[in-house]
Amino acid sequence: DTAMAAAPMTDAHRRFLQVLMSHGIMEGSEARKLHRRCCEIHKVYYAHDKLDDFISTVNSHLQPLFMQIRKGMSEGDGKAHYALVNLAETEITKMASDYAENELELFRKTMDLIILSENGFASSTDILNLADQLKTKKMKKKEAEQLLKVFVEDKWLSEKNGEYTLHTRCIIEMEQYILSNYQDTTRKCNICHSLAIQSQVCESCGIGMHLPCVRKYFRAQTEPRCPQCNDFWSLDIP
């Protein structure tokens, strides 16, 4: 039998999983620190460059539970993040246990605004204007404002100067949902090929790139040209 048996779960792996579960999502540098700490506490062999192997051991034991630790990127600063994802239910059904129907409808409509926008943001004004157009049950502006705060606390949305976008956790968890429900409008980043919500779009050929990927890509170019059509990149490089 050539299939490798899964490496056993140790207490170090279990601790790592517990801490990640309580956070829901963790930045790469935090996850690396946690990896080290778990190995030291439980006297398990530690190698600083083996975090991904360590995580895939955890994942092999999570498989029967339809859960998985996934790696993703923050669209704002390009940093790696790890999130625990439930594969058994789509994220929208998972949200359905936490939110009322009209709250869910507002989230879906907010998601529409964000994904259909040019830059991956929706203004609070535009979102709040949706509150009294809900089919399930209309919502007062005050309620909607309160709900947006909750979506931010629960890491479904993040907010910057009154503009909302999808939180890194939401993107890692909902990538499949978004790709299948917004087939015609979603873009994959031309550089890293993962889903791009906050992006810059080439004015000539329409390809999109994450802002951190734009930054990295053009750092090496004397003159910014689109990696796809080679036209001049007329947008401000972040």
Residue 58 placed within a domain = yes
Task: Verify that 108 and 165 share a domain, yes or no.
Answer: yes
- The answer on pLDDT for 2 being more than 50 is no
Q: How many domains does one find in the chain?
A: 3
Question: How far is the C-alpha of 147 from the C-alpha of 191, rounded, in Å?
Answer: 35
In a domain? residue 211: yes
Residue 79 lies in a domain: no
Both 111 and 165 in a single domain? yes
Which of 175, 208, 228 is the last residue before a domain boundary?
175
pLDDT digits (tens, 9 = 90+) for 47-60: 999 999 999 999 99
Whether residues 126 and 198 share a domain: the answer is no
pLDDT in tens, 217-233: 999 888 999 999 999 99
Residue 165 inside a domain? The answer is yes
Mark whether 128 and 203 lie in a shared domain.
no
The verdict on 165 and 191 lying in the same domain is no
Query: Is residue 149 scored above 90 in pLDDT?
Result: yes
By residue range, what is the domain housing residue 217? Answer: 186-237
Please give the structure tokens belonging to residue 51. Answer: 């975090």
Residue 71 resides in a domain: no
| 194 and 147 in a common domain | no
The pLDDT score that the predictor gives to residue 119 is: 84
Neighbour tally for 224: CB within 10 Å: 17
Question: What is the per-residue pLDDT for 184?
Answer: 84
Residue 81 forms part of a structural domain: no
Tell me, yes or no, whether 37 and 101 share the same domain: no
pTM of the predicted model, to two decimals?
0.84
Counting residues of the chain whose pLDDT is more than 90, the rounded percentage is: 73
Establish if 132 belongs to a structural domain.
yes
**Helix 101-116 / helix 141-153 crossing angle, nearest 10 deg:** 70
Residue 6 in any domain: the answer is no
Q: Are residues 190 and 153 in the same domain?
A: no
